[in-house]
């Protein structure tokens, strides 16, 4: 069985619509897609009740994508 690859993506580098392209297969993962056909959320990390990181699984290639840097965006708003 092939092990899932883990990629880290900084949220500030996401597309304007909040979508991220899977670093391995290039499929577009949109936060507006609630079907979980393309991806599923594995884990979300909070620190002091603030979102810090979200780990998602790309269902196309089975890669794990860690979205980091939420606190930088929230602090700048």
Domain that holds residue 55: 6-76
Q: How many domains does the chain have?
A: 1
Domain annotation covers residue 67:
yes
Contact 46, 54 (CB under 8 A): no
pLDDT digits (tens, 9 = 90+) for 18-74: 899 999 999 999 989 989 899 999 999 998 988 999 999 999 999 999 999 887 665
Contact 28/75 with Cβ under 8 angstroms? no
Residue 45 lies in a domain: yes
Question: Is 1 part of any domain?
Answer: no
- Give the integer Cα–Cα distance in Å for 29 and 1: 24
């Amino acid at each position: 069985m092939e092990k899932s690859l883990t990629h880290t993506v900084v949220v500030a580098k996401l597309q304007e619509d909040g979508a991220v392209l899977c670093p391995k297969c290039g499929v577009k993962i949109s936060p507006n897609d609630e079907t979980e056909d393309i991806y599923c959320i594995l884990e979300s990390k909070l620190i002091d009740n603030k979102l810090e990181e979200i780990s998602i699984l790309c269902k196309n290639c089975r890669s794990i994508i860690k979205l980091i840097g939420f606190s930088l965006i929230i602090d700048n708003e």
